[in-house]
Amino acid sequence: MKTLLRYSVSLALVAGALFLSAPRAAVEAAPKAKKIPVILDTDIGDDIDDTWALGLLLRSPEMDVKLVVSDDGKPLYRSKILARFLQVAGRTDIPVGVGMPTAKQGEGGQAAWVRDYNLNRYPGKVYADGVQALIDTIMSSREPITVLAIGPVPNLAEALRREPRIADRARFVGMHGSVRVGYGGSKTPHAEYNVKQDVPSAQKVFVAPWEMTITPLDTCGVIDLQGERYRRVKESTDPIAAAITENYRLWSASQNRGNQPDPFETRSSTLFDTVAIYLGYTTDLLKMEQLPIAVNNDGMTLIQPGAKPMQVATEWKDLDAFRDLMVQRLTNKEKRR
C-alpha cells in the first residue's frame, strides 16, 4: 500500500512538473513570425531615394525579397545598380529582373558606380525578361506576394496585360500620387512623378483588382535625414550604409545646382521611396485612410467617389520614430529589445 502511495505521489509530482513547464516549452517552441514575400519594382538610378529604399528593404527582417526588377527604361544601367548593390550587401540569393526598354534611355547620376560592372558576372540569377520573372514569381507562390513599386509602373501594366490573374495573387504597395499635399509641402496637390511619367500604365495599375496601399507626397514628401541622424549613416562602415553613401555622393555631385552648395555634406535628399518599404510590413507610424482614388489623364491622383478604394497614408503619427528606425536599420545598429 505504501509502495502504491509513493508511486501515485511520484506520478502526481511528474505530472505537475510537466504542467508547470508546458507554458515555457510552448513559448520556446512557438514559430517565428512568417516573413512577407515581396518583389521590388524600381526605377533605381534616377533619383537616389530608390537606393536608400533598397538598403532599407534588405534590412527589414519582416520581409522576404523574392525578386528585384528594374523599371521605366534604362534597363541595363538600372539592373547593374541592383546587382552590384545586392552583391555588396551579400544578398546574391535575390534574383535580378531586367525591366522592359522604354523611350527612356541612357544612364544617370550613379553611372560611375557601375561603369565597370559586368551584369553577366552577378553570382545570382539574372532574368532578361523581368516582367515575365515577376509574373512567374507571383503565380508560383503559395502565398500572396507584396509588390513594392517605387517608380513609374510600365512593367506592372505589361504584367497585368500578359497575366491578369496576378492581381488576384498579389497586393500592391506603392510610392505614388499626391492627395491633399504636393511637393515641398504645398497645400495644392501636384501630378506626382511616378504617376505622371507614365499615366496610362498608372491608370491600368490603379484599377486592377488587387489590394492597394500607397504613400503619396502627403507622407513621403517630408522624409529626409539631417544632423546627427544623417551623420550616423554617412560615417557608418556598414556595407549597405557605405554603398548608399557612395552612390549618394556620386549622384549629388551629378546634379547641376549652379552656385548652390552640395547637400551631400550635411543632409540627405528627400527619401520618398523609403515609406513604401515601411508600408510593406506595417502602418503603425502612419495615419491610414481608405479613399477612392482615380488617376486622371494629367497624372493627378484624385479622391473620386466610385473610384477604386485603397489604403492611403495621409499623415504621420510619429515621423521622428520612422527617421530613427531608418538610421538604426541602415547602420545595422538597431536597438535590441
**Percent residues over pLDDT 90 in the chain:** 87
Inside any domain, residue 163:
yes
Domain of 151 in residue numbering reads as 36-330
Contact 278, 329 (CB under 8 A): no
Average pLDDT, the chain: 92
CATH number, domain with residue 240: 3.90.245.10
Specify the pairing of strand 301-303 against strand 309-316: unpaired
Inside any domain, residue 270:
yes
Inside any domain, residue 265:
yes
Inside any domain, residue 337:
no
Inside any domain, residue 128:
yes
pLDDT tens digits, 176-227: 999 999 999 999 999 999 999 999 999 999 999 999 999 999 999 999 999 9
pLDDT at residue 30 in the model? 54
Task: Please say if the pLDDT value at position 25 is more than 50.
Answer: no
Place of cell 546634379: 255
Specify the pairing of strand 96-97 against strand 309-316: unpaired
Inside any domain, residue 272:
yes
Q: What whole-number distance in Å separates Cα of residue 181 and Cα of residue 92?
A: 39
Inside any domain, residue 311:
yes
- How many structural domains comprise the chain? 1
pLDDT at residue 256 in the model? 84
Contact 127, 133 (CB under 8 A): yes
Among 6-15, 205-214, 234-243, 328-337, the minimum mean pLDDT is found in 6-15
Inside any domain, residue 279:
yes
Q: What whole-number distance in Å separates Cα of residue 298 and Cα of residue 194?
A: 12
Q: What whole-number distance in Å separates Cα of residue 64 and Cα of residue 94?
A: 9
Mean pLDDT within 252-280: 94
